[in-house]
Structure 1
Amino acid sequence: MIEERIREVFARAGAVGLLHAVPVDVRSAVAVEADATPDDREVAVSADEPVVIASVFKVLLVLEFARQVAAGQLDPRERALVTAADRLGGWGTAGCLDDVELSLRDLAYFAMSVSDNSAADLLLARVGLDTVRLLAKELGLDRTRIVGGPRDVLQSMFAEVGARSEAEFAARYPELPDDHKRRLAVLDPQRTNASTPREITRLLRLIWRDAAGTPEACAFVRDLMTRQVFRHRLASGFPDEAVIAAKTGTLPGLHIETGVVHYPDGGCYSVAVFARTRELTASRQAVDAAIGTAARIAVDFLRTRDR
């Protein structure tokens, strides 16, 4: 069975994988609203199991930002200043050594293209946490939980480790026993930003069908997802002619990517892949490659059903 092939791909990489893949061009809007996709037009591997979504949360955040811009509630050119107090470390402005001034829409760009945590936090402060939560409910993502932004996640890790700063956390975390690390709230879908693979593919289908907001807002999110710089997971499994729009998520022991694969012949598929490893590391090339391989197996299966 196709599901067993996918499980074997992850097992060979030393991981457990959860996956959902479904065509974007479903037969009717009713099917999207009801998630009534026929079984032969989806691939589901533990697709209804709760999962930590990590930075995949930024898709909802940027969608809400784009909706508020389209409604005239926010000016995308409004300036924001990223200071030392805002920097969390990592990519984009989060890792800069000096203050950076940029527009709100450029915060959205950095949050999506390089998963900039500082940019996401500042954008969340303008958009509002409660509005992001309400958006998830509006879109029928009833099993999606949003508890906060990147800084909230980081502060929860600091508190559980007993660290007062990033430097202190970096010194203490490696010395913790693995069972302590696995109990951290950021790795528990009951206590952090979480969803299911099926709900994440639903979110992307709604965005690609202009059903998650105005066409302008949905197009903004689609464009930013095509500009993600990371190509080592989902994109690694597909040929060059396939256009991949995606968003990664990473935490110790969690390798995540969701996206839409668009072929030149018009075939379009929403995929969400979540891989867990026993080793609590953030970098495992074999697992990242398995994400691409598993997604390709699922999409190839769906493409045979569409012909």
Structure 2
Amino acid sequence: MDPFGRVGARGWWHVRCVDCPRETGARSTDPVVLASVVKVPLVLEFARQVVAGQVDPTERVRLRDGDRLGGSGTAGCLDDVEMSLRDLARLALSISDNTAADALFRRVGVDNVRSLVAELGMPETRILGGPRDIVASMVSDVAAADTGAFALAYPELSVAEVRGLSALDPRRGSASTPAELTRLLRLVWRDEAGPPEACAMLRGWMTRQVGWHRLAGGFPDDVGVAAKTGTMPGIRNEIGVVTYPDGRRYAVAVGAVLDALDGRQFAVDVAIGRAAAAAVDTVRATCTH
């Protein structure tokens, strides 16, 4: 049974075994908004550049008032912050720090992240930029003078106007498909998305995500979960790899478009975990690995 219909959402998912051809999904080739899931290919490109000697991971970056977007980590700091690129990468994945992600995009280059997903066989994946670019698109969509004016205008927008923002439209904003996202994860976990050292770097940082209420919430404590969430108004998603005690590994992409735009939406988060667990069970039942 689809767990999303009962919680006011339209869900999608895709699961594939990392080590055999088995897979299953629902709406798995439909375009979906990436939101903060974009930080996974971003950090993979950063890790690849580190291994190639193009970037020093200990390089210091100073983040000032103009860099902050608000939110978690450095994005919400009141004062200037200075840290290494690798710590920014860790914060971008562990707490979804948007300012950290923007700093990484500036350093590694948006075009290089786009080239990476093309190289990995993800033709339906579109990356327009980082979190600041998403905000800029929303400011432009409502013809606001700046982010401050947008913040004042947003509460007055109708539901239709919010849903019409290009950043929330998978046909116009940064987007992918569930099947391409699990392909990316499978390649990373098989050390086929770049040098093994780079893949291992990304895997390690993804295990440090502090949120457990979506994907991880659907699995027992003895199942390892390395994942990254994405959240925007009316959108919840998560991608990750779950590893069972028997060593079997499954790449998962799951999410939903919600009837309501705002609120905690805990029931939807629970449905994400349940949908993921049910899909993994289906694959495990026929897994040939």
TM over 0.5: yes
Question: Is the counterpart of residue 21 in structure 1 residue 2 in structure 2?
Answer: no
Match of 1:72 among 53, 62, 73: 53
* Aligned-pair CA distance for 1:282: 5.6
Name the SS for the 1:124 alignment partner: helix
Match of 1:267 in 2: 248
1:106 corresponds in structure 2 to 87
Q: Which residue of 2 aligns with 1:33?
A: none
Select the residue among 241, 257, 277 that pairs with 1:296: 277
> Quick one: which amino acid aligns to residue 11 of structure 1?
G
Paired residue type of 2:16: V
1:198 matched to which residue of 2? 179
Corresponding position of 1:161: 142
Measure the CA separation in 2 of the matches of 1:300 and 1:255.
22
Work out whether residues 252 and 282 of structure 1, in 8 Å CA contact, stay in contact via their aligned partners in 2. Answer: no
| 1:52-91 equivalent positions in 2, closer than 5 A | 52-91=33-72
Runs of at least 4 residues of structure 1 off by over 6 A? none
SS in 2 for 1:257: strand
Report how many aligned residue pairs link the two structures: 288
The within-5 A match list for 1:1-307 is 5=1, 7=2, 9-26=3-20, 37=21, 41-281=22-262, 283-306=264-287
One-letter identity of the residue aligned with 2:153: R
Q: Secondary structure at the match of 1:203?
A: helix
Give how far 1:165 is off. 4.2
- Give CA-to-partner distance per residue, 1:216-245, whole Å, 9 cap, x none: 000000001000001110011100001100
Using the alignment, how far apart are the partners of 2:107 and 2:88 within structure 1?
11
- Note the aligned Cα RMSD (angstroms): 1.1
Distance 1:282 1:142, change over 3 A: farther
Give me the whole-angstrom Cα distance separating, in 2, the residues matched to 1:306 and 1:184.
41
Distance 1:181 1:298 in 2: 31
- What is the distance in 1 between the residues matched to 2:23 and 2:83? 41
Give 3-state SS (helix, strand or coil) of 2:123's partner.
coil
Could you say what secondary structure the match of 2:67 adopts?
Answer: coil
The superposition leaves residues 87-120 of structure 1 with CA deviations (integer Å, 9 ceiling, x where unpaired) of 0000010000011100000110010000100000
SS of residue paired to 2:61 = strand
Q: Match for residue 29 of structure 1?
A: none
Indicate conservation of the 8 Å contact 1:10/1:290, yes or no: yes
In structure 2, what is the Cα distance between the partners aligned to 1:228 and 1:59?
A: 12
- Aligned partner of 1:22: which letter? R
User: For 2:218 and 2:146, how far apart are their aligned partners in 1?
Assistant: 38
Once the two structures are TM-superposed, the CA of residue 13 in structure 1 deviates from its matched residue by: 1.1
Contact 1:83 1:99 in 2 (8 A): yes
Q: For residue 85 of structure 1, give the secondary structure of its aligned residue in structure 2.
A: helix
**Which amino acid letter does the alignment assign opposite residue 252 of structure 1?**
P
The DSSP-based 3-state class of the residue aligned with 2:194 is coil
Q: Tell me how far 1:166 sits from its aligned partner.
A: 3.9
Q: 1:259 to 1:282 in 2, by over 3 A?
A: farther
Q: Measure the CA separation in 2 of the matches of 1:171 and 1:128.
A: 32
Query: How much has 1:175 moved relative to structure 2?
Result: 1.2
The one-letter code sitting in structure 2 at the alignment partner of 1:17 is G
Q: For 1:289, what is the secondary structure of its paired residue?
A: helix
Identity between Structure 1 and Structure 2 (%): 58
Residue 172 of structure 1: CA displacement? 1.6
